[in-house]
């Protein structure tokens, strides 16, 4: 495999993204093209400040891969994601299979093969930090459009106010769905709480939500372990990239893990983490870091290859967060709360050929 070309891109967000490092208005990254015995594959590196290496570090790692043949290491996960994804795309194209099929059936050294990949995966809608009335309205709109799982952002407001928002959605959620199916709620605190605040929140949210994502800062693994059993289940996101899934499991720090292939170093590493979590009895959910079409499509394949990936809602409905994308037609659109997994070959057959050249 040879890295043959890099192509920089910049995509405006529909609305600015607030992070600990400041507001982000544009997602910048690089497309990576590789040649595998005459077959081209494409990968994407879109580093996110605070979650991966910086864009200059990512670019330098990819230039070394192109010019010197040095593969990106774990210190540059976004760069590694791009190169390993491009290889996976080329390999799947050569074999005439989808990326999901090669991941699920081949094992790829990441653990036992999981059998046939799911043909589609459910996804959650994400609702921002509005007041109770706005939160209910946004959640109802999501349910009416077909979503069965809704994730609410919490942690900016006082705990009592966040709990009131969740309870308001809980009161309205089942009545909002015409067919009567239950609607699952999740909340994401993005590490905003300290230990006493998190304990109050998890106790109050018990029975209302599927899990609370990242209630404490990423570095507080012991604190998360102490929260388990207090109330609502605990899911870890940022902590996973910092410690790795095996350390999270060993610490007993989570009931579920949130996998971002772009922050974990590639599709195979994310799949390995998901398989390890499943073996330990933890749920695994795949999400993005607000990426362009190539990385977002790859994340759908990873979700489909996970054990039970076709039954659990994943955080992959993020295309609308971008004002523009690399392709005119999204290869993995959301329809009635699900995303159909492209059947290939490769990432999406010829749907990404314009960016693969």
- On the question of a cis peptide bond just before residue 345, with omega within 30 degrees of 0, the verdict is yes
- Token pair, residue 309, equals 């990936």
C-alpha span between 53 and 354 (Å, rounded): 27
What is the rounded distance in angstroms from the CA atom of residue 48 to the CA atom of residue 220? 21
Query: Nearest-CA neighbor of 296 among 116, 93, 85?
Result: 85
Q: How big is the CA angle at 108 (ends 270 and 36), to the nearest 5 degrees?
A: 105
Helix residue spans in 252-292 (DSSP H): 261-264, 267-279
Instruction: Return the number of other C-beta atoms located less than 10 Å from residue 194's C-beta.
Output: 12
Report how far residue 141's alpha carbon sits from residue 74's, in angstroms, rounded to the nearest whole number. 40
- The residue from 27, 59, 97, 153 that is catalytic is 153
Q: Is 151 tagged catalytic?
A: no
Question: Catalytic: 153?
Answer: yes
Annotation-wise, does 247 bind a ligand? no
* 108 is annotated as contributing to ligand binding: no
The response to whether 213 counts as a known ligand-binding position is yes
Pick the catalytic residue from 59, 66, 93, 260: 260
Strand ranges of the sheet holding 39-45, from the earlier edge strand across to the other edge: 2-19, 22-36, 39-45
Tokens 């295309």 map to which residue? 319
Pairing of strands 283-286, 256-259: parallel
Binding positions for Mg(2+): 188, 213, 237
Binding positions: 188, 213, 237
Hey, which residues are catalytic here?
153, 260
């Amino acid at each position: 495999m040879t890295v043959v070309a890099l192509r920089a891109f910049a995509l405006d967000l529909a609305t600015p993204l607030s992070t600990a490092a400041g507001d982000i208005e544009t997602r910048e990254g690089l497309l990576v093209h590789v040649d595998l015995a005459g077959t081209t594959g494409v990968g994407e590196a879109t580093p996110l400040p605070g979650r991966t290496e910086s864009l200059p570090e990512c670019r330098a790692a990819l230039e070394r891969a192109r010019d010197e043949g040095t593969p990106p290491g774990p210190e540059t996960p976004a760069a590694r994601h791009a190169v390993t994804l491009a290889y996976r795309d080329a390999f799947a194209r050569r074999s005439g299979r989808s990326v999901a099929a090669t991941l699920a059936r081949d094992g790829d050294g990441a653990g036992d093969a999981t059998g046939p990949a799911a043909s589609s995966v459910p996804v959650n809608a994400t609702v921002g930090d509005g007041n109770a009335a706005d939160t209910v309205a946004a959640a109802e709109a999501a349910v009416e459009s077909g979503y069965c799982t809704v994730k609410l952002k919490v942690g900016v407001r006082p705990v009592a106010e966040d709990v009131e928002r969740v309870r308001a959605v809980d009161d309205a959620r089942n009545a909002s769905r015409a067919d009567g199916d239950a609607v699952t709620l999740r909340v994401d605190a993005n590490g905003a709480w300290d230990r006493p605040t998190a304990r109050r929140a998890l106790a109050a949210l018990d029975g209302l939500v599927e899990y609370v994502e990242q209630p404490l800062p990423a570095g507080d693994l012991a604190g998360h372990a102490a929260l388990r059993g207090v109330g609502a289940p605990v899911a870890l996101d940022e902590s996973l990239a910092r410690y790795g899934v095996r350390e999270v499991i060993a610490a007993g720090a989570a009931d579920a893990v949130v996998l971002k292939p772009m922050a974990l170093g590639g599709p195979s590493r994310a799949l390995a983490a998901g398989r390890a979590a499943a073996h330990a009895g933890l749920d695994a959910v795949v999400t993005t870091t607000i990426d362009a079409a190539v990385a977002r499509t790859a994340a759908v394949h990873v979700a489909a290859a996970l054990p039970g990936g076709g039954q659990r809602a994943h955080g992959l409905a993020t295309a609308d967060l971008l004002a523009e994308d690399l392709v005119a037609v999204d290869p993995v659109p959301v329809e009635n709360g699900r995303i159909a997994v492209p059947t290939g070959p490769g990432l999406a057959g010829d749907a990404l050929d314009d960016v693969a050249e």
